[in-house]
Amino acid sequence: MAFHINRRDLLKTVAAGAALGALSPINRAMAATEVSWMTWENLAKPEYLQAFLDANAGIDIAKTFIGTDDEQFAKLRAGGADSVDLITPGLDKVEYYVESDLLQPIDFDKVTNGKLLYDAFKSSPLGKKDGKTYGIPFYWGINPVVYRADLMDEEPDWSVFFEGDKYKGKLAMRDYALEGIMIAAMYLGIPREEMFVMDDKQLAEIKKALMAQKKLLRTYWNSISDLTNLFASGEVVCAFSWVPPYYDLKARGLDMGMAKPKQGVIGWCDTLAVPAGVEGEKLDAVFKLVNYLLGPDYGKELAVGGPYAQSTSSARDLISDEQKDKIFISDLSIMDSFVWKQNPPRYNEWVALWNEVKAS
């Protein structure tokens, strides 16, 4: 059977398609203001957002998921800022966006839950410029050492990645210059106030330590699911990690340990930030969503589902003690021991150093 196309049929089809295409945005515009949120997949689970959508019939949330923080910045920087209304950059990266004029300040009159931010975030200079907040802390946690308690004799600290050869070939480090170099600095005892502004001599020491580290490593890891696999298969017994493999593998019956080295623990925090071009009705909707994300309904869900801690105390009284322990908010003084990630002024040289070590 031959398939004939004539001009009239083709035009009809095209016209029908055009009509359909034209109708749908009108429908949406009448029904709702759509807020486009660029974020991590595990922060935008439907059940986390349901209470907000129920309470705000006029607002829809369109989600775009990011794979890395850098990818998010690259997208906005390459002109993607017009298509997104709310982003989720790391607290240490907000500076990049602010210096590129990509953000507008947070309006605390509309984001009333901002008053409940923990002191560590209120007093931090990160995410702010000229007294205005551009990236409002959203949720936070630590990146600890995770290990197979059944295969290690003692709780490790950072030194396990730099000296001795008891666990040689059974260790893994994240392939990330910023954290890799911070850990070497903590191991070498470089004071926190100098850590992000190290001079040439200190960087040379770091490089030496990292070269020694490379010989002990099984591999550098790039994705957390990959690291989880390496733990499960016994290829790696101890790694600088994120928290999730600890809970995931424990739930599957492995005897896992989580260590917070006394030399310091890396604390991280992601923020919510609004691109400069968002305005009017949409901006109001965005701030409503931001306020919800810092409020009790969302915080409660995140504490259990994440499990992660919100940056505000909104939900703190609604969470069980056991869950509070899990997300490190039972005793908030623990935050004083964290070394919060920052963007070093000589970061390009850090990346070059990291690549030199890996290529050696």
Q: Which stretch binds another protein (CB under 8 A): 116-124, 212-220, 303-311, 322-330?
A: 212-220
> Residue 12 to residues 7, 15, 19, 297: CA-CA distances in angstroms?
9, 5, 11, 50
255 counts as binding another protein under rule CB under 8 A:
no
Query: Which residues partner with 239 through β-bridges?
Result: 146, 172
96 counts as binding another protein under rule CB under 8 A:
yes
108 counts as binding another protein under rule CB under 8 A:
no
Cβ proximity of 256 and 149 under 8 Å: yes
166 counts as binding another protein under rule CB under 8 A:
no
- Of the chain, the end-to-end C-alpha distance in Å amounts to 65
Query: How many chain residues touch another protein (CB under 8 A)?
Result: 34
Q: Which stretch binds another protein (CB under 8 A): 103-111, 309-317, 329-337, 350-358?
A: 350-358
226 counts as binding another protein under rule CB under 8 A:
yes
Considering only 148, 174, 218, 288, the residue that binds another protein (CB under 8 A) is 218
Q: Which stretch binds another protein (CB under 8 A): 56-64, 121-129, 219-227, 268-276?
A: 219-227
Q: From CA 26, how far away is CA 20, in angstroms rounded?
A: 10
162 counts as binding another protein under rule CB under 8 A:
no
Q: Which is nearer to another protein, 227 or 294 (CB)?
A: 227
222 counts as binding another protein under rule CB under 8 A:
yes
Q: Which stretch binds another protein (CB under 8 A): 46-54, 119-127, 213-221, 258-266?
A: 213-221
Q: Which stretch binds another protein (CB under 8 A): 107-115, 170-178, 287-295, 323-331?
A: 170-178
Cβ proximity of 28 and 34 under 8 Å: yes
150 counts as binding another protein under rule CB under 8 A:
no
CB of 140 to another protein, least distance (A): 20
Q: Which stretch binds another protein (CB under 8 A): 45-53, 63-71, 104-112, 301-309?
A: 63-71
Q: From CA 225, how far away is CA 208, in angstroms rounded?
A: 30
358 counts as binding another protein under rule CB under 8 A:
yes
233 counts as binding another protein under rule CB under 8 A:
yes
Q: Which stretch binds another protein (CB under 8 A): 276-284, 313-321, 327-335, 343-351?
A: 343-351
Q: Which is nearer to another protein, 249 or 334 (CB)?
A: 249
Q: Which is nearer to another protein, 99 or 194 (CB)?
A: 99
138's tokens:
């959203």
Considering only 120, 136, 178, 303, the residue that binds another protein (CB under 8 A) is 178
> Residue 10 to residues 21, 23, 102: CA-CA distances in angstroms?
16, 20, 44
Considering only 17, 164, 234, 305, the residue that binds another protein (CB under 8 A) is 234
CB of 11 to another protein, least distance (A): 21
**Could you say which residues in the range 65-94 bind another protein, by CB under 8 A?**
68, 70-71, 73-74, 77
Angle separating helix axes 200-216 and 347-359, nearest 10 degrees:
30
Tally Cβ neighbours within 10 Å of residue 57: 9
224 counts as binding another protein under rule CB under 8 A:
no
Binding site for another protein (CB under 8 A): 68, 70-71, 73-74, 77, 96, 99-100, 169, 175-178, 214-215, 217-220, 222, 226, 233-235, 347-348, 351-352, 354-356, 358-359
